[in-house]
Chain A
Amino acid sequence: MTDALVTLDGVTKTYSGITALDGVGFSIAAGEAVCLAGENGSGKSTLIKILAGVERPDRGKIVFAGKTQGPLNPRLSADAGIKVIFQDFSLFPNLSVAENIAFSAEISHGSRLVRRGRARALAAQTLSRIGVDIPLDVAVETLSVAHKQLVAICRALATKARLIIMDEPTTALTEREVRVLLDIIRRLKADGVAVLFVSHKLAEVLEVCEHVVVLRNGQKVAEGPATEFDAASLTRHMTGRDVAAQPPAPLAENAPVLLRVEGLNKTGIFADVSFDLHAGEVLAVSGLLGSGRTALAKALFGLVAPDGGSIRLNDRGVPLGNPVAAAEAGIGYVPEDRLTEGLFLTQSIVQNIAIGRLDAHGNAAGVLDWRALLGEAGDWLRRLSVKAPDPTAPVRSLSGGNQQRVVLARWMARSPKVLILNGPSVGVDVGSKAEIHGIIADLAASGLGVIVISDDLPEVLSTAHRILVMKDGRLVQGFASGQVSETELAHRLAS
């Protein structure tokens, strides 16, 4: 391995006792594309942050271009030619498109003064390289999600790179844009640039990468030429199990309609959304990032006020744009971003569960019956088998999977009729993921209507009775479970 551009050896990182990376080592040659595969929570993001110099490893060695690197920092990494497209984009919302694209490059130049012309030229040139047309002077905060992602890609491509790391760079992109990106990756490889590509879209991965490294729970579990892997074997390595996408048990023929959504409409976000949800049914809404799937989910729960349309639960109208009323009507919502939207991280596990039950356990003056609250919360922790040694500890002390179950417990304690789960297994380890899917099946079996919003296609295929495809704010297609394959569905989402 004399021609390796980057070699990692025994890289280990722990966060407050939890091992995120455990002795991971592999290398990438110049001009090679390596796919880093792994489920959410497998340690991919940590590895990327270490290479980017954002995090420091506890142990292990990083050799770059033949030199063993000391402690990296973002500046050193960037100057060495390591460019990262972060999953959360890491852009500056208040700055213009041109400035965002050129900022790193301008810092690397070391000039003290702003060279507006040079920056704009660089931005324009990079944008035209990937063939998109985004105005240079608008603030990034006003862009659509897909455009933000493209700006993030352009920022990494703007300067001369030796290693480009792409963390889920295609979550918001259409097939056409993805093809352009894959072409660019091929061209970069031809120029001798190494690429570390992270994606859970297996088709993309196998199309451009020569080499595959699979992480699971912080450890490297498989490595080899891409030709040795296929979708099934990759999944097996990532999950540690043979999980063929099993469609759920069929829905009862005469299941009554629970939730009826008609003509829901929000200008510029989604339009003319109508569907029925039956008791005991798991309905998936799938679409790209920015397709309007999250806005729709929020609208069903009242967090977004639609301009028109109606939501009826058990044939009673649910007031629009009012989460308190939606919750009272029996709709629950488990948000996408657990850490910022779902949990009160500094507060106790019990309080995180009890927050929805304070009124039920308070007397007329609002004085709480703490014993009843604790009892109920403890009961749910047991039923969802949350491993929590001390329920009064802050909820941030739990692992991702257990945290997600705490949010689920909060809603289940309110005995909802309809539960909306947005990205139910994002950032959850493999074992918990299967268990959460089990919980979803149990919920449906007990007569709840469940709506799963997800772009994790195996998850969608294995949990949902019915799949609705959302594109540009419209529900464009529906499939019954077992009617559609993963590749077909992937194509429907992004075409």
Chain B
Amino acid sequence: MKIDWTRNETLVALVILAFCAAAAASDPGFLSVATLTDLLRGGIVLGIFAVAAMIVLISGGIDVSFTAVAAFTMYVTAMALNAALPGMPWWGALGFGMCVGALLGAINGVLIAIMGLPTLIVTLGTLSIFRGFMLTFIGQKQITTLPPGMREFGRMMLLRGENADGSFYSLHGAFAVTVIVIVLTWFILQRTMLGRQIFAIGGSVESARRIGINVRRVQFFVYVYVGILAGLAGVIHASMARVANPFDLVGLELSVIAAVVLGGARLAGGHGTLTGTILGVALIVLVRNSLIVLGIPSTWQSVAIGLLILIGTGLPAWQAKRAAARSA
């Protein structure tokens, strides 16, 4: 197989391999099923967020409100189900969350696609609005008793096992949801005309208008879809944490976008792959979970992630700058 060294995916994959090699060298126990399942578990919510952020970037926009959508949704879902629909099964809870997320996403969609406001400002504003509304009018206290459906989902495991040393490992059921999200998004982006239109408007909005793509409709879909994914991620987060803490999640948005860009999506739009996004998320999770294995204290974690972002986006930017100087 031919390796394309200029792609971000290659670079990120190499860094991941190097990281794992170094970690394995300093702690042979690193290469274990438990490390893998921890990694996968850490990537469940982050992965869904990243897929959402990637779609917006591909369409030429940026969304920083998805973490607030997720927090809002998980809190409202937990509260509403506790109060009114305690009997709702786990899939009902997820569905409820997706509906709430879709509604919030539609607000972004109206402001961006219909009214034509700039994406960064709109989502910055709705980030504050969603979070402020939740904390002011809905509540600020953690909900420690989740509705039965979410509790049930929180206990679901795809697999469990015992390591040689007697410790346990498990893979959470929500991992399957992330996989489904990835596959579904791949299908939309690569196999439906809608997906190709998302790429097209990211490549050139004006050209898209000229060949008759309904830009507003496509953009509206993007923000609603992002809302659905964010809502889903929110409910999953609360179920896995077994608590709905309204102060969770918000603050992650820029790191998620950074992971996506690390994976090759461009802020200018039109570019982005799921492989790259998954690799970007994997690298961030790996650094968060396992920096300590390399003998680097965890207080240096954010320095490491910052460096990764700079190197991961700096190298391609520098290459692009050189390429532009070559061809212009």
Number of interface residues of B (CB under 8 A): 27
Determine the residue in chain A with the shortest Cβ distance to B325: A305
Which residues on the B side are within 8 Å of A304 (C-beta)? Answer: 325, 328
The digit string for A95-114, where 1 denotes a CB below 8 A from any CB of B, is 10001000110110001111
Residue in contact with A92 in the complex, picked from B207, B214, B325, B326, CB distance below 8 Å: B207
Contact B203 A114 (CB under 8 A): no
Which residues on the A side are within 8 Å of B207 (C-beta)? Answer: 90-92
Of B144-152, B191-199, B297-305, the stretch lying at the interface with chain A is B191-199
A101–B191 CA distance with the chains assembled, in angstroms: 17
Residue in contact with A94 in the complex, picked from B209, B270, B328, CB distance below 8 Å: B270
Contact A94 B210 (CB under 8 A): no
Which residues on the A side are within 8 Å of B32 (C-beta)? Answer: none
The digit string for B190-229, where 1 denotes a CB below 8 A from any CB of A, is 1111111001101110111111111000000000000000
A91-B204, A92-B200, A95-B203 as given contacts; A74 in contact with B270, CB under 8 Å: no
Which residues on the A side are within 8 Å of B196 (C-beta)? Answer: 95, 99, 103, 106, 114
Determine the residue in chain B with the shortest Cβ distance to A152: B207
Q: Which of B190, B196, B202, B206 has the most CB of A within 10 A?
A: B196
The digit string for A294-307, where 1 denotes a CB below 8 A from any CB of B, is 01001000011100
Contact B212 A114 (CB under 8 A): no
Which residues on the A side are within 8 Å of B327 (C-beta)? Answer: 268-269
Tell me the chain B residues, 293-328 only, with Cβ under 8 Å from chain A: 325-328
B237 within 8 A of A: no
Determine the residue in chain B with the shortest Cβ distance to A76: B212
How far is the CB of A303 from the nearest CB of chain B, in Å?
A: 7
A30–B325 CA distance with the chains assembled, in angstroms: 47
Contact A107 B325 (CB under 8 A): no
Contact A295 B209 (CB under 8 A): no
Which residues on the A side are within 8 Å of B190 (C-beta)? Answer: 114
Which residues on the A side are within 8 Å of B326 (C-beta)? Answer: 266-269
Which residues on the B side are within 8 Å of A74 (C-beta)? Answer: 209-212
Q: Which of B209, B270, B271, B328 has the most CB of A within 10 A?
A: B328
A256 within 8 A of B: no
A78–B211 CA distance with the chains assembled, in angstroms: 7
A25–B196 CA distance with the chains assembled, in angstroms: 38
Contact B199 A107 (CB under 8 A): no
How far is the CB of A147 from the nearest CB of chain B, in Å?
A: 14
Residue in contact with B193 in the complex, picked from A54, A91, A111, A269, CB distance below 8 Å: A111
Number of interface residues of A (CB under 8 A): 37
Tell me the chain A residues, 282-300 only, with Cβ under 8 Å from chain B: 295, 298
Tell me the chain A residues, 110-145 only, with Cβ under 8 Å from chain B: 111-114
Residue in contact with B192 in the complex, picked from A113, A155, A269, CB distance below 8 Å: A113
A104–B212 CA distance with the chains assembled, in angstroms: 8
A112–B217 CA distance with the chains assembled, in angstroms: 14
Contact B212 A78 (CB under 8 A): yes
A interface secondary structure, majority: loop
A93 within 8 A of B: yes
A84 within 8 A of B: yes
A74-B211, A93-B270, A107-B212 as given contacts; A112 in contact with B194, CB under 8 Å: yes
A73 within 8 A of B: yes
A52 within 8 A of B: yes
A86 within 8 A of B: yes
The digit string for B180-195, where 1 denotes a CB below 8 A from any CB of A, is 0000000000111111
A366–B199 CA distance with the chains assembled, in angstroms: 46
Residue in contact with A52 in the complex, picked from B195, B208, B210, B214, CB distance below 8 Å: B210
Which residues on the B side are within 8 Å of A86 (C-beta)? Answer: 210
How far is the CB of B263 from the nearest CB of chain A, in Å?
A: 16
A298–B325 CA distance with the chains assembled, in angstroms: 11
Residue in contact with A95 in the complex, picked from B191, B200, B209, CB distance below 8 Å: B200
Which residues on the A side are within 8 Å of B214 (C-beta)? Answer: 75
Contact B210 A113 (CB under 8 A): no
Determine the residue in chain A with the shortest Cβ distance to B200: A92
Contact A90 B204 (CB under 8 A): yes
Contact A92 B270 (CB under 8 A): yes
A317–B29 CA distance with the chains assembled, in angstroms: 63
A91-B204, A95-B200 as given contacts; A107 in contact with B193, CB under 8 Å: yes
How far is the CB of B194 from the nearest CB of chain A, in Å?
A: 7
Which residues on the B side are within 8 Å of A111 (C-beta)? Answer: 193
Contact B203 A107 (CB under 8 A): no
A90–B208 CA distance with the chains assembled, in angstroms: 8
A155–B213 CA distance with the chains assembled, in angstroms: 15
How far is the CB of A266 from the nearest CB of chain B, in Å?
A: 8
A107-B211, A304-B328 as given contacts; A93 in contact with B193, CB under 8 Å: no
Which residues on the A side are within 8 Å of B191 (C-beta)? Answer: 113-114
Residue in contact with B211 in the complex, picked from A76, A104, A298, CB distance below 8 Å: A104
Contact A94 B212 (CB under 8 A): no
A295-B328, A304-B328 as given contacts; A93 in contact with B210, CB under 8 Å: no
Contact A94 B206 (CB under 8 A): no
How far is the CB of B128 from the nearest CB of chain A, in Å?
A: 28
Contact A94 B271 (CB under 8 A): yes
Q: Which of B194, B204, B211, B214 has the most CB of A within 10 A?
A: B211
Residue in contact with B206 in the complex, picked from A52, A90, A268, CB distance below 8 Å: A90
Contact A92 B204 (CB under 8 A): yes
* Across the A-B interface, the 10 shortest Cβ-Cβ residue pairs: A75-B212, A94-B270, A74-B212, A92-B203, A94-B203, A90-B207, A104-B211, A90-B210, A92-B200, A114-B191
Subset of 21 A-B contacts with CB under 8 Å: A54-B210, A75-B212, A76-B212, A78-B212, A86-B210, A91-B204, A92-B204, A92-B207, A92-B270, A93-B203, A93-B204, A95-B200, A103-B196, A104-B211, A107-B211, A114-B190, A114-B192, A114-B195, A155-B211, A303-B328, A305-B325
Q: A residues within 8 Å of B by Cβ?
A: 52-54, 73-78, 84, 86, 90-95, 99, 103-104, 106-107, 111-114, 155, 266-269, 295, 298, 303-305, 321
Other 15 A-B pairs with CB < 8 A, given A95-B196, A114-B191 = A54-B210, A74-B209, A74-B211, A75-B212, A75-B214, A90-B204, A91-B207, A99-B196, A104-B211, A111-B193, A113-B191, A269-B326, A295-B328, A303-B328, A304-B328
